[in-house]
């Protein structure tokens, strides 16, 4: 007996799944590590306008899964846009879009504030309070201390995203909470290992398009420059990438840093980006609601040099009348044998 795909959609706490079921044409959830906000899109058959328009800013959750394994929450956020489409002889559809980051609240309000000699965990907690968001920060990032931190006419969303880029983190907003996690570690902010998914030929793997070796973004080392006020001269912080198969090219970061600590952080962040981008591609598998950005995808049964582990950069869950429930994974950072054919 074949399995059955399931979904549950709630709007302002009300389960609307049964109402949507005969009308649902397509449901898509996009999750991305490098973006502050995740998105969801629902397309409904709107013949005769049978569905009431959701309230502007309504809180929405989406869970996906299979009858054999149950449902898993994949999205929570607020309705951002509702669009009606139709044409003579072509019927009518209703498109509902939602974002995990509230686009109407204090999170996007530009603010001016600074912190002297504070740790990143304290800074993010304070900035989150100003915008009305509790913030969870990875302990390794929370301990970073600087002489000065500042919000310079920027929103909480922009501030968190900028600091994530500077410190090698990933900043995300999920409904009414925010997190700042360490990039490329596959760990949640609590230190728990994120779930991995398997893409196996002959089982759940539908197709793949992978390049486990990409030359252009790879460097042997990264250099960040800073000005030593006491010594009165420019200095450099050099970080080895650790890619033994890379060329001898060195990558000097575009902007100079305020001091040695920031230069080290910039160099480490550029190193993480180089390691992450040394391979890329995508796979399409049977729907798997446990797939999470920053987790791992384990490829098996394709061929030597392609099989191995990859970092999940983005996830697209799609449930449609035509194709059923599928999950597309955008992959980076090949490891555990991916990119190496030892034959």
pLDDT tens-digit series, residues 16-71: 999 999 999 999 999 998 788 899 999 999 988 888 888 888 999 999 999 999 99
Same domain, 324 and 202: yes
CATH label of the domain that carries residue 62: 2.30.300.10
Residue 17 confidence (pLDDT): 95
Same domain, 269 and 285: no
DSSP state of 343: -
The total domain count for the chain is 4
Same domain, 207 and 126: no
Mark which of 276, 300, 323 sits at the end of a domain.
276
CA distance 81 to 258: 41
Q: With CA atoms as reference, report the closest residue to 306 among 343, 342, 341, 278.
A: 341
Token reading at 280: 């890329």
Q: Residue 21: CB partners within 8 Å, gap ≥ 6?
A: none
Contact (CB, 8 A) for 36 and 157: yes
Mark which of 80, 99, 118 sits at the end of a domain.
99
Same domain, 156 and 45: no
Residue 237 confidence (pLDDT): 84
List, run by run, the mean pLDDT of 10-residue segments along the chain (343 residues): 88 94 95 89 91 88 95 93 88 93 83 93 94 91 90 92 88 87 74 83 96 77 84 85 67 79 78 82 96 94 94 95 93 88 78
Same domain, 241 and 323: no
Q: Would residue 190 count as lying in a domain?
A: no
Q: Would residue 189 count as lying in a domain?
A: no
Same domain, 206 and 315: yes
Same domain, 206 and 173: no
Same domain, 138 and 94: no
Query: What residue numbers bound the domain in which 162 lies?
Result: 106-182
CA distance 38 to 49: 28
SS3 219: coil
pTM, full prediction: 0.87
Same domain, 19 and 95: yes
Same domain, 56 and 88: yes
């Amino acid at each position: 007996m074949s399995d059955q795909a399931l979904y549950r959609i709630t709007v302002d706490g009300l389960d609307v799944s049964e109402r949507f079921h005969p009308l649902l044409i397509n449901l898509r959830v996009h999750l991305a590590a490098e973006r502050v906000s995740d998105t969801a899109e629902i397309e409904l058959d709107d013949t005769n306008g049978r569905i009431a328009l959701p309230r502007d800013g309504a809180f929405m959750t989406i869970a996906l899964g299979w009858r054999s394994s149950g449902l898993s929450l994949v999205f929570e956020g607020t309705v951002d846009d509702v669009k009606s489409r139709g044409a003579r002889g072509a019927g009518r559809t209703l498109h509902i879009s939602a974002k995990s980051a509230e686009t109407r609240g204090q999170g996007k309000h530009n603010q001016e504030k600074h912190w002297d000699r504070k740790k990143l965990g304290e800074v993010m907690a304070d900035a989150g309070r100003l915008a009305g968001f509790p913030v969870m920060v990875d302990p390794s990032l929370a301990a970073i201390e600087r002489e000065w931190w500042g919000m310079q006419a920027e929103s909480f969303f922009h501030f968190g995203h900028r600091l994530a880029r500077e410190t090698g983190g990933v900043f995300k907003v999920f409904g009414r909470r925010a997190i700042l996690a360490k990039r490329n570690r596959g760990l949640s902010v609590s230190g728990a290992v994120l779930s991995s998914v398997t893409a196996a030929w002959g089982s759940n793997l539908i197709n793949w398009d992978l390049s486990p070796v990409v030359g252009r973004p790879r460097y042997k080392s990264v250099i960040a420059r800073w000005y030593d006020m006491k010594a009165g001269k420019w200095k450099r912080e050099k970080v080895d990438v650790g890619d033994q198969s890379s060329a001898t090219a060195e990558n000097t970061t575009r902007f100079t840093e305020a001091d040695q600590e920031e230069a080290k952080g910039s160099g480490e962040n550029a190193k993480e980006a180089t390691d992450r981008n040394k391979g890329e591609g995508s796979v399409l598998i049977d729907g798997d609601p446990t797939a999470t950005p920053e987790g791992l995808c384990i490829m098996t049964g394709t061929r030597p040099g392609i099989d191995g582990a990859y970092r999940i950069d983005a996830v697209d869950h799609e449930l449609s009348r035509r194709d059923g429930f599928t999950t597309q994974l955008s992959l980076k950072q090949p490891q555990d044998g991916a990119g190496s054919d030892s034959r």
